[in-house]
Structures are given as structure tokens and as C-alpha cells.
Structure 1
Amino acid sequence: MTAPSRRKLISACKTLAAADPALERAYQEIGVPEWRVGQPTYAALCRLIAYQQLSTKAAGTIWGRTEAMFGEVTPEAVLAADPEAIRGCGMSRPKVRHMTSIAEAVVTGTLNLQRVCASDLDSARKELVAVKGIGPWTAELFLLYSIGALDAFPVGDVGLMEAHKQLSGHETRMEIKEFTSHAEVWRPYRGVAAHLLWGWINAERAKAGGASPQA
């Protein structure tokens, strides 16, 4: 997919800056954030699963091995593979099960990614999370990166909560429920807010020589 147009992103950033001082500061410091673009494929879902709960560096190594093993990560290839061989790339057993479950859904047509891309955001979410192995966080990131949904929002993302805490000058992060409630003011641009927050904290960590908090 292609990223939302720069005109749309500028308009969204200005709206967000007016709604939240933390986002205003982020926008002032980094400008329009770079939109993370992915493809609406089975492999993209598997990559998100690989990156769950791991550092960017570790996840990147594991995903690189997985791609090298398959050449192209497709549902058919995963279903035909020995699960232990996939584990040998560094994937945990639960992640291998998730990859297999999603592959089965794609092959049987239970999950149709073309239909997901053409659906409204709520319908797309429902179809994704109905598949075992695709949780809300994975679904929202897929909708952000692979579809360019401006209001997709990965609830509970630690990088987002940490960035907002720092930008707001607070000593502690909001709890997930509080942060999710706070993010309601960002609608219909919660996905743009996420990119602003990730962009800002990544820039700060780069200054300090640290790792990116988000794949």
C-alpha cells in the first residue's frame, strides 16, 4: 500500500496538536511523521507476530532466518513445513501455532485479506481478530501499516504510552485503560497520533544512541 498523502497527514497533525499538548510538542519537534508502510499479506501478519514482545534487534534476526528458510513466507509453505523447523528460526511454540492458525484461515477463506482491505475499519478489525493468533495489537498494526488506516490504534503499546508520558512531563505512564480513554480525543486520527509518538520517541532514543521501541 501507499502511505496517506502528506496533505492528509499535515491536516491530521494540526488537528491532533490542537487537541493534545503532548502531540503538539511532538509535531513541533519532528514535523510530519514518516508513515510505516507494509503490504497487506499473510507474511506481514507473521512478521508482526515475530516482533511481539521482543526487541527490534532480536525480532529482526528471527524474522530474517524465517524468510531465509522459506524464501517467501506463504500460508501454503508454512502449512507444509515442519513446525520444529520454524522453531529453529527462533520462533516460540505459541508463535508457530499462531502462524499455522492464520495460514489455515487464509487457505480456507475464513480470512480474506483482500476483503479486509476493502472493508470499513470496524469490519476489518472483526475479521482479523476472529482468527486465532491475531490479537487486537497485531490487527491494529496490520491496519496501520498494510492498509494505512488513519484511526487504527494499537491499545497497550508501551512505546506510545512512554512517549506520551515523556512529552507530557509526567513521572509515571498512564495505565492502559486510562491511556485508551485519553486517546479518544485523537479520533479519527489515532493512527496518526501513534506515528507522531513513535516518531518522537525514536528520534529521542536515536539521539541517546538507544534502540527503537517499535518494529
Structure 2
Amino acid sequence: MNFDNKPIASREVLEAHLQALVTLDPGLGSILSQVGEVPLRLGRPGFAGLASIVSSQLLSVASARAIHLRVEALVGEMRGENFLKVERDALRAVGMSYSKIDCLRGVAEAEISGEIDFAQLHQLSAPEVMKKMTSLKGIGPWSAEIYLISSIAHPDIFPAGDLVLQKMVGKVLKRDDKPDEKLTRALTEKWSPYRGAAARLLWRYFAVLRDREGINL
């Protein structure tokens, strides 16, 4: 069965894409053999998924998770209309920055007004999704690409603005520098149409090296 254009929404598809990736670039095979099971890294769709992504920006995984759990305790079901019912100061009191609060309030208002339809995003091409999402105040390319790879499970997205991925691209390609976003995007074109699998593999490789060797950003 050909899985090339399938969303990476199951273990079967991810494994197929990883095998196709290392066939395309055999140099990644030794990395795949070291890392064990590569996580799917699926996120919730809609406002809830984007809220989790925005909450995690510039924070450690543990800090982001703790803050997001406290926010969810205030909001209840993580929907835009529910988020708008909670006072800004109450959200700030549980650790969310005002800039993130205002960003998500804007997203919630855009969803309610029909400016953005999260269900429709699944039917659009990646460039169309990027255009719609980055038109929202506070949503940049990184957030939009993370939404594409995790909540939509797009198979050929590589979030080139991600600092971990930049570091790992530099490492696996044996560069002396950490490539910036533009260069990372160019260097990873060769992994298309399996860039979603490549991103997951390199995130996992970073986690393995962090635990084994203490590597950090």
C-alpha cells in the first residue's frame, strides 16, 4: 500500500514514512536505529490544539504542560467561546502571558466570526493553511507549521523555525553552525515528501541525545 500522501495519523503510516525517508537518505538510517520508537506527536484539532501550541511557545515542555493544565481547569472544555468567558487577569494568574492570552482571544473571536474555520483547514493545501493561520494576529509560521504537523497530521511539513530542529539538522548534516530558518528550510527540501517523518525523527533524536549525553540548545 502506498502511504506517501497519507496524513501521519497512525503508527502504520509513520513507520512507512520513516522507512521511505531512510531509503531516500540512507544517512538517516543509523539515527533511526538508535532512537527506538518515534512518537506520533499528534495534537488536538481546532482551537484546543492551537491553544496548546501557543501555550508552549518559548517554554520547557514541563512548564508549558503545567500552565496549560491550569488554563484548562479555568476554561473547562477548550473552545474559543469558553476561553473568552475567562477574565484576562485570571488567565495571567495561572501563568499565561498577556501576549498569549490576547493572541488566543483573537483566535477565538476569529473562529466565532467565521474568519477562520478549523474544520475547513483540513481540506486545504499546506500553503493555504499557512496563509489563513498567519493572518491571525500573534500566529506566526512556527505555530502554523506545528498545527499542520500535529493537529492536521500533514505528511510533508518540517517546522524550520523550530530551534531543536535547526540544531539537529546542523548535527545530522555535519555542519559547524546551526542553520537559521531559511537555510533549514532549504536543507530539508531533499527529504520531501517525508519531511513530517523527518521532523519527528529529529525531535526524537534530540531527546535521546539530551538524556544520554546532556545535549541542549
TM-score after normalising by structure 1:
0.87
Unaligned segments of structure 1, at least 5 residues: none
Q: How many residues align?
A: 211
Measured against aligned partners, the alpha-carbon deviations of 1:155-180 in whole angstroms (never above 9, x if no partner) come to 22111122223333444312322211
SS in structure 1 opposite 2:122? helix
For the aligned residue pairs, the C-alpha RMSD in angstroms reads 2.2
The answer to whether the Cα contact below 8 Å between 1:21 and 1:168 also exists between their aligned partners in 2 is: no
What is the CA distance between 1:85 and its match in structure 2? 1.1
Q: How many Å separate the matches in 1 of 2:26 and 2:161? A: 21
Q: How many Å separate the matches in 1 of 2:130 and 2:62? A: 28
Match of 1:196 among 197, 201, 204: 201
What is the CA distance between 1:198 and its match in structure 2? 0.4
What is the CA distance between 1:196 and its match in structure 2? 0.7
Q: How many Å separate the matches in 2 of 1:129 and 1:200? A: 29
Matched with 1:34 is 39
Structure 1 residues 3 and 191, CA gap change in structure 2 (3 angstroms): closer
Unaligned segments of structure 2, at least 5 residues: 1-6
Deviates more, 1:43-52 or 1:2-11: 2-11
Deviates more, 1:159-168 or 1:190-199: 159-168
1:1-215 → structure 2 map (5 Å cutoff): 3-20=8-25, 22-30=27-35, 33-208=38-213
Q: How many Å separate the matches in 2 of 1:113 and 1:82? A: 24
What fraction of aligned residue pairs are identical, expressed as a percent? 32
Structure 1 residues 46 and 14, CA gap change in structure 2 (3 angstroms): same
The residue identity in structure 2 corresponding to 1:202 is: A
